[in-house]
Amino acid sequence: DCGPMQRLLVKAQWNKVYGTSKVRDDAGHVLWKAIFNQDGETRALFNRVHGDDIYSPEFMAHSARVLGGLDIAISLLDNQAELDAVLAHLKEQHIERGIPDRYFDLFKNALMEFAPSALGRCFIKDAWSSCFDVIANGIKGQ
Ligand code: HEM
């Protein structure tokens, strides 16, 4: 369960995963590569932001927006009312863009590979899994 303790643990561990700006750029590259590798069709969703070149400034800015959104959501895991408001906004933005729910599973797979690479044995899999689901379920809409 993504209970109060799990929420605090994920917040603390995310801060380690998502520390400095260099790490943030690298995290974006690793995550998007892992998403595009799982389903090549997802790349076309990102034509507007140069999905064909994940090292382009346009794509890196996009990646920073997404991870920034995830950062906000995780930081609000212990504030359900504000979390709900943020997720409702993200949900609208993704519905507008026609992002199928199943793509959030690809994102989750990528995150669940990436986070332990930064945390090693400290990674608490069940907490990350259940708390990512809280966030993804709040954004999914189709
Ligand atoms: C927890 C997971 C996710 C979070 C927190 C998130 C967050 C965001 C944020 C903050 C934006 C920028 C909105 C704006 O400023 O207009 C965005 C845009 C977008 N997201 Fe997500 N996202 C997530 C998952 C996904 C997934 C799984 C996909 C598809 C594989 C996706 C596809 C897109 C697309 C296509 C855009 C618009 C790109 C553009 O600017 O043209 N997102 N997302």
| Tens-digit pLDDT profile for residues 5-38 | 999 999 999 999 998 777 888 899 999 999 999 9
Determine the atom of ligand 1 nearest the C-alpha atom of 65.
10
pLDDT at position 21, please? 77
- For residue 92, give the amino acid letter: E
* Residue nearest ligand 1's atom 38 by CA: 46
Residue with tokens 């590569």: 33
For residue 116 and ligand 1, the question of a CB distance below 6 A is answered with no
Let me know: does 140 contact 11? Beta carbons within 8 Å.
no
Contacting residues for 21 by C-beta, under 8 A, at least 6 apart: none
Determine the atom of ligand 1 nearest the C-alpha atom of 67.
5
Which structural domain range is residue 20 located in?
A: 4-139
* Residue nearest ligand 1's atom 41 by CA: 48
For residue 63 and ligand 1, the question of a CB distance below 6 A is answered with no
| Tens-digit pLDDT profile for residues 43-100 | 999 999 999 999 999 999 999 999 999 999 999 999 999 999 999 999 999 999 999 9
ipTM: 0.98
Question: What does the alpha-carbon distance between residue 103 and residue 46 come to, in Å, rounded to a whole number?
Answer: 13
For residue 36 and ligand 1, the question of a CB distance below 6 A is answered with no
- For residue 120, give the amino acid letter: G
Question: What total number of domains does the chain contain?
Answer: 1
CATH label of the domain that carries residue 15: 1.10.490.10
